[in-house]
A = this chain, B = another copy of it.
């Protein structure tokens, strides 16, 4: 922003450019920060319910996310086991790990974009 645009807005704390990013199919988002973190937590804990708990998300919502992700992907991203030892559990596939990795890099580039815009802001 050029000098003339300064001081238009109040700034008790610093003003910054921020935003959100997601993958979109058919105009609706299906792979944003939430699903990514959920996949990571499932990988960590081996359990959808425990992953949900750590994200302070209801199990229902977590399960719906997993279900939606598996439906949209050619091959499953999450493989659930029902019953058995510990009552069951879930693992994520290599493809899920690839998606997580891609999204991590994407977020890094986005963060760099936001930081650059914020740096050049000085409202």
Task: Name the segment of A8-16, A40-48, A57-65, A84-92 touching the other chain.
Answer: A8-16
Q: Which residues does chain B contribute within 8 Å of A74, judged by CB atoms? A: 7-10
Give chain A's interface secondary structure class.
Answer: mixed
Contact of A25 among B5, B9, B99, B117 (CB under 8 A): B9
Contact of A22 among B14, B18, B106 (CB under 8 A): B18
CB pair B8–A25 under 8 Å, yes or no, is no
Chain A, interface residues (CB within 8 Å), range: 35 or more
Which residues on A are within 8 Å of B, measured CB to CB? 1, 4-5, 7-27, 29, 31, 72-75, 77, 95, 98-99, 102, 106, 109-110, 113, 117, 123
